[in-house]
Structure 1
Amino acid sequence: MGKDAGYSRWKVLASTSCALVGAYYIYDLPAATNKPLESWLKVDPAEYQYALSFMYTIYSIPNIILPFICGFAMDRIGTTAIFVILLALVAIGQFCFAIGVNLKSLSIMYLGRFLLGIGAESAGVAQSRITSNWFGSKDLALALGINLSTARFGSVLNDIMSPLAATWVSVPFAAWVGFVVAVASFVGSLYVLVPQRSNSVRTEIAGADDGDASLIPLVTGEGDLTRGNTLEDLQPFLTDDVPVEGSRTFLGKILSFPLMFWQLCIILVAFYGAVLPFNTIHAAFLQVRYFPNDPQTASQVMSIPDLLSAILVPLSGAVVDYTGGRITVLVLCGASMGIVHFLLGVGLLSTPIFALIVLGVAYSFLITTWACIPLIVEEKQLATAFGLATSIMNASQALFPMMVAGVAVAVVMYRIDREGLLCRVGSKLTV
């Protein structure tokens, strides 16, 4: 690989990694400012629980189909310009949200979250597509891990800074800080527009033509998928028997995906069904159960999973890249997350810190699921595959927050574990 090619791909990785920091920061801003935001809006507690959950539901609604459509468009017309436009939409969405907070208008806040959802999720698809295009299979999970790790620092900053800004200054100030972070991320993304020799660089990095690029092992010791399998070996459904014309159509691309891809989508729904709804209520949960009237301590403790995952994701990606065992990792992640959610839900722990540490480690290996997609889907279909997986995940996420709100209203002290069941289902599915 040429020196310029090596430098270029790491510069592009730095740009795409920083680009989603803002989206991650503002995604959980309502949850991080949970109690102060409730006091600021001065709405009924039951109404507020549904309003808070709807901020996440309306974020997910456009992404039931949009990332899939954007992924298909990226495969056909290119990714970088769409990537930057989507990140601009993220900043515009947060601008509307901040205006809504200032005016205490839930409608304007919902509009901002809707625009944020349109931009952020599809930008994540574009980020994965760009990264996959620049990195060969040997370093792909590491590169995707760096992407996620950097973005998760946005979540960590939000967990720490937003409650402090809301408490020390005001809730509107915390919302405007989120807007500044989103604009900074947008500016950082502009480097991807610089003309790059992406096609030739990717060929050098991969070390072979697309037709005989080797794939990383998904599991070891069981003989299912091993190093040296080619794309054709791993995709019996994508052979010369499939009509070429059909594979080029919108529906043809979907039907050409192997069974393993759909299994991964089910795992994503189960895992993120455990992670994201918990993030919606964990600030209030920690304050009610462990840190009454101490939102600052609660905000510091709730940042533990995001902080650990931000640090460990590149390492976990590198480990999986070179050792394989992805299926085993997914089973362990599901089992550990299920146990932790159960212990938190039934109140058997005197402190949540150890449980949150386990969650942080498990979160860091969730990238394994996404890193499997380029191994089982053709390179020319990657954006469509990432988009479809994101769409399926968001379809579930449009429902889960409202389910959590109903439970939160009915069971004020959160005495049952809303997400533990989904997490345990995830561990079973991975088996």
Structure 2
Amino acid sequence: MEEEEDETRALLANRRTETSRDAPAVPRALPALCDPSRLAHRLLVLLLMCFLGFGSYFCYDNPAALQTQVKQDMQVNTTKFMLLYAWYSWPNVVLCFLGGFLIDRVFGIRWGTIIFSCFVCIGQVVFALGGIVNAFWLMEFGRFVFGIGGESLAVAQNTYAVSWFKGKELNLVFGLQLSMARIGSTVNMNLMGWLYSKVEASLGSAGHTTLGVTLMIGGITCILSLICALALAYLDQRAERILHKEQGKTGEVIKLTDVKDFSLPLWLIFFICVFYYVAVFPFIGLGKVFFTEKFGFSSQAASAINSVVYVISAPMSPIFGLLVDKTGKNIIWVLCAVVTTLASHMLLAFTLWNPWIAMCLLGISYSLLACALWPMVAFVVPEHQLGTAYGFMQSIQNLGLAVISIIAGMILDTKGYLFLEVFFIACVSLSLLAVVLLYLVNRARGGNLNYSARQREEIKLSHAE
């Protein structure tokens, strides 16, 4: 009996030895920074995600930071100057519907991000070359190409975030990405004027060449974003191989036939969005000269105050997002944001009060509105129509920005800044009217847009049961 047991033990030992010879060596544990399942590695990915959109946001407002220089060096009026913003928005009237489709079905998230980053880089280079060769039409074409990549790159950025981060940490990630975008805009506003003066001193005179070289140097930030896109693609492919994770999907299912089923509250949300944002972004695009002419600010001080909206938005967006999540009452928060914006424009138009007050109010209200307005779409639209609803909302927002940018330039050329401010006040007033109508319609229909956080939690629990 003992002999049989000894023989069995010997056979088992031999089998283990043979198996250990045939089996591949067990890989050693990866360092935390190289292991896709570890927090340190995901923080590295988060850093790359944040810088992915930095170049795009930095260069988007290059015209605003160099408004005086562009108009002087290229010898254009304000109407033509604002076409630089209009041309950015035109391709995104369509690409809001196609961007997600191209990422999901054609390119994939990795190649999609790289391709859109390339469009941003090429667009900025063409924009700068337009200045160097003194061809304003080429600058416009550059902005068009830049626009093709800019908004779609933001979709790709969000898709990476959803792919790598889940649950409660996702809101924080979105907040950090938005903060980095606003930092990019702020750095642009405060850096480009100084950079122009340095290039001017180096070349010996101002002019279209100085403008072009300044814009080309600014384009280095777009190359940084492209490097981040390449690094993200490599790390995402590596994580797929190691963790067997799938490529990220945007989750956007676009069906234009769904538009006919949109409810009145959703159309009112669209209306609020368009008439609110057209009173913010075109104003910032023209703001620098406004602060120098009306308030006598220096060029550097005017750039600083023009960037206040972005400075405030960077830290406040995540905070306001948390506040709206905790309290609910989305319509009330949107109402507060629109009323505060209206007060801000009125102060700028009709008083000589220190404009820092009005711009701080505008920064706070802009951050609050973004956190309260955009989530409301999900409360009034079935989940299968969300992609269409958000795509349509972005599309008409870009259409509004393209048209109003041109109108704002025409008003400024013919009537001046006071009439322009009255025009922006009229736009915000229309947005305010839509908010009041939304409140009344929501109340009459027993809608859920103004529920408190507690009411929403109770409804979620009742559905779960």
CA-CA distance at 1:97 after TM superposition: 0.6
Distance 1:157 1:176, change over 3 A: same
1:264-284 Cα shifts (integer Å, max 9, x gaps): 322221221111110111011
Match of 1:281 in 2: 286
1:350 alignment partner, SS class: coil
Alignment partner, residue 229 of structure 2: 189
Match of 1:241 in 2: none
Alpha-carbon separation, structure 1, partners of 2:126 and 2:391: 26
Task: Tell me the residue number matched to 1:207.
Answer: none
1:370 matched to 2:378: no
Can you list the C-alpha shifts for 1:31-71, whole angstroms capped at 9, x where unaligned?
A: 11111222222x2xxx4212211111111111111221222
Which residue number in structure 2 is paired with residue 19 of structure 1? 52
SS at 1:332's partner residue? Answer: helix
Q: CA deviation at 1:260?
A: 4.8
> Does the CA-based 8 Å contact 2:348-2:355 persist in structure 1?
yes
Task: Give the alignment partner of residue 352 of structure 2, picking from 349, 354, 368.
Answer: 349
In structure 2, the partner of 1:421 is 426
Aligned residue in 2 for 1:124: 154
Question: What is the distance in 2 between the residues matched to 1:36 and 1:142?
Answer: 38
CA contact (8 A) 1:18 1:188 kept: yes
Q: 1: CA distance between counterparts of 2:100 and 2:265?
A: 19
Report if aligned partners of 2:274, 2:396 keep a CA contact under 8 Å in 1: yes
Which SS does the other structure have where 1:298 is aligned?
A: helix
Matched AA of 2:88: Y
Among 85, 96, 101, which residue is 1:56 paired with? 85
- 1:326-367 CA-to-partner distances (Å, cap 9, x unmatched) read 222211111100111112112x13310111111111122233
Give 1:296's aligned amino acid. Answer: Q
| 1:306 and 2:346 are equivalent in the alignment | no
CA–CA distance in 2 between the matches of 1:53 and 1:406?
Answer: 9
129-138 or 297-306, which deviates more: 129-138
Q: TM-score, normalised by structure 2?
A: 0.74
Question: Using the alignment, how far apart are the partners of 1:183 and 1:125 within structure 2?
Answer: 19
Residues 253 and 388 in structure 2, CA contact (< 8 A), matched pair in contact too: no
2:214 aligned with 1:174: yes
Q: Distance between the aligned counterparts of 2:96 and 2:352, measured in 1?
A: 39
CA distance in 2: counterparts of 1:335 and 1:362, whole angstroms = 8
- Show CA shifts across 1:242-267 (max 9, x none): xxxxx977334545666554443222
Shift in Å at residue 375 of structure 1?
Answer: 5.8
For 1:306, the aligned partner's letter is Y
Equivalent residue for 1:267, pick from 267, 272, 275: 272
For 2:150 and 2:342, the matched residues in 1 are separated by 28
8 Å CA contact retained: 1:125, 1:386: no
CA separation of 1:275/1:248 partners in 2, compared to 1, >3 Å: closer, same or farther? closer
Which has the higher Rg, Structure 1 or Structure 2? 2
Moved more, 275-284 or 124-133: 124-133
1:382 offset after TM fit, Å?
5.3
State the distance in 1 between where 2:110 and 2:369 align.
25
What count of residue pairs does the alignment treat as equivalent? 381
8 A contact 1:71–1:385 mirrored in 2: no
CA distance in 2, matches of 1:343, 1:297: 19
Task: Give 2:175's match in structure 1, choosing from 145, 165, 185.
Answer: 145
- Report what 2:6 is aligned to: none
Distance 1:256 1:137 in 2: 30
Residue 357 of structure 2 aligns with an amino acid whose one-letter code is: F
Tell whether the 8 Å contact from 1:75 to 1:383 is kept in structure 2 after alignment.
no
Partner amino acid for 2:196? A
CA distance in 2, matches of 1:142, 1:268: 23
Partner residue, 1:361:
364
Q: 1:323 to 1:11 in 2, by over 3 A?
A: farther
Taking the TM superposition and a 5 Å limit, the aligned residue runs for 1:11-410 are 11-41=44-74, 43=75, 47-76=76-105, 78-136=108-166, 138-170=168-200, 171-193=211-233, 194-195=236-237, 196=239, 250-254=255-259, 260-291=265-296, 294-346=298-350, 348-368=351-371, 369-373=373-377, 383-410=387-414
Ranges in structure 1 where 5+ consecutive residues have no aligned partner = 203-209, 211-246
Structure 2 residues not aligned, in runs of 5+: 1-34, 201-210, 437-465
Q: Is the 8 A contact 2:253 2:387 kept in 1?
A: no
Provide the rounded CA distance (Å) in 2 between the counterparts of 1:133 and 1:375: 23
